[in-house]
Structure formats: structure tokens, C-alpha cells
Amino acid sequence: MYVATLLTNPGAPTLELSLVESLRNAWGGGEIVWLGSDEAAEFSLQEAPGNLWNVWAELQGMDVDLIVQPVEARRKKMLLADMDSTMIQQECIDELADEAGVGARVKDITARAMNGELDFEGALVERVGLLKGLDEGVISKVLNERIKLMPGGRKLLNTMRSNGAYAVLVSGGFTAFTERVAEMLGFDENRANTLLAERGKLTGDVKRPILGRQAKIEALESVTNRLGISEADVIAVGDGANDLGMLGRAGTGVALHAKPSVAEKCSIRVNHGDLTALLYIQGYSRSEFAVA
């Protein structure tokens, strides 16, 4: 058995019953269940439809996300999340670079690295090198003035954790940011790279070994082993090329507002919903969301 879920932006919900009914009828689906009024609905299917991606593309033009997945074991016991442009709206290194006066150059490298055009480790070393000499206090300034949480994040964390799930924030960014974001959102643990500083100034380097794509996979492996759960019990979310390993290994891998080259490699893509989409994908209704 499969389930088809249709989602829209909860900030401007536009999901119409006629659209859901039309798709359900075309695919011979079961009863429609509304998870969120005008925002999210689902229905069961006997098998995955052969024209899924053609329909998906058509619905994208209507600002509607479509996910088809097996019904079994939808609700997960662990959340594994990227940070930059996933749990927060910014790329932390780009914000630091703006303060250092090298914003445009670093943003270009970041975009290419996240799109898979550049080696992640090399791109990180190059970008951090451009921050050499930046006052360490700028990190707090960026955290306080520039970093904004992605909509739906607190509801996602509070709901999953209230239902017994474990939450891990794993980033190719920096611990100075993941520690604050993890505390703000309620993650159980966080992993990231450490910016090096001497006498209050960034040295232009990071502590080795560098956490990148493989380290995110290792986080998936080590935490699930420690918790005594399987990788199938995990829902992972990210947007960049360095997230593809964990997205492919997790039971449910969600490409959230991802780079096109990343999204095309993932079977679950959310381009219009916010982080609460990860709850709808698991079958939670809005009435079950924990208070943010």
C-alpha cells in the first residue's frame, strides 16, 4: 500500500478539494483525509502510479507538492537535519563573509558547492580562508541579527520529540551556529565543523577532520546504532549535494527547497511547504502538532 500526500505553503494555503478529488479518481485512490484545512490532504493507493513525475511537474505549476510513498512505517523515530537553508533560512558562512567584505565571492562558491559542482571540503577550506582576521565577536552579531529560523521548525521538533523521536542537527557549517540553533529548536544533539580562532580573530581555518557528506552518513549510522533503531526509522532533510548521502540512506529522505541537481536525485521533494511538511509526510494532522 502507498499513500499520496498533497501539500501547499501553510502561509498561503491553496489546496482545493476538486484538485485532490481529481487526482484521487484518476489514480483509483481511497478516501481523502484532510491533514490540514486547504493545506494538506492524503489518500491511499494500491501501487505507485506510473505517471507520478509528470503529475508532480504539473502540480508544481500550481504551487502544490506531491509525495507518494509506502504507507508502512511512515512515522519515524529520529530526525536527522541539515542546518543551513534547511533549519535556518541563511547560509552561515555567507553571512560571515558579508561582515568580512567578501560576501559575493563566498556566496558564489557556496552555491556551486551546494549544487555539487565543487568538492565540499575544498570549497569550505577556500571560503573559511577568506574569513581570516575576522573578529570572533562577529559570530554573535550574525547569530543575533542575521539568522532566521525556517518556518515550521519548532512545530516539527516539538511534535516529533513529544512522540518519542530523537533529533540530530548535522551540518557542514560551524558549531558556533549549530549549538545555538539546536538549543533554540530543541535538538538532542548537534554536529558541525569548528572554526579556529587565536587572540579573538579567526585564523582562516577549521578543525580537522572536516565534517562533510560522509560525516553526515556516519552520524546516521552511529546514532541509529546507539539508539537501537534502524536507518529505516529515520527521516532526514537537507537541500545541498553534501546531504545526498544521508537522504539516500534514511528511511525517508526529504529534499527541502533543494538545489535542482539535488532534488532530481530524491524521490521526496518539498518546494512549497515549510518544515511542517515533514509532519504531514509522516501522516500527522495539524491537530496533532505540538505547540511551538
Instruction: Please report, in tens digits, the pLDDT of each residue of the chain (292 residues total).
Output: 999 999 999 999 999 999 999 999 999 999 999 999 999 999 999 999 999 999 999 999 999 999 999 999 999 999 999 999 999 999 999 999 999 999 999 999 998 988 889 888 899 999 999 999 999 999 999 999 999 999 999 999 999 999 999 999 999 999 999 999 999 999 999 999 999 999 999 999 999 999 888 999 999 999 999 999 999 999 999 999 999 999 999 999 999 999 888 999 999 999 999 999 999 999 999 999 998 6
Please give the C-alpha separations between residue 266 and each of 153, 195, 229, in angstroms, as whole numbers. Answer: 21, 31, 23
Active-site residue (options: 38, 63, 82, 98): 82
- CA 7 – CA 231 distance, rounded (Å): 25
Topology of the domain covering 1-72: Alpha-Beta Plaits (3.30.70)
Question: Which helix (H) or strand (E) segment is 283 a member of?
Answer: none
Do 244 and 262 contact (CB within 8 A), yes or no? yes
Look up 84 and say whether it is catalytic: yes
171 φ, ψ (degrees, to nearest 5):
-140, 145
| Cis check: omega of the bond before 209, within 30 degrees of 0 | yes
Residue whose C-alpha is closest to residue 33's, from 80, 79, 78, 74: 74
Look up 82 and say whether it is catalytic: yes
Please identify, in words, the CATH class of the domain defined by 75-292. Answer: alpha beta
Active-site residue (options: 65, 84, 94, 243): 84
Q: Do domains 1-72 and 75-292 have the same CATH topology?
A: no
Domain boundaries, the chain: 1-72, 75-292
What is the pTM assigned to this prediction?
0.95
Q: What does the radius of gyration of the chain's CA atoms come to, in whole angstroms?
A: 20
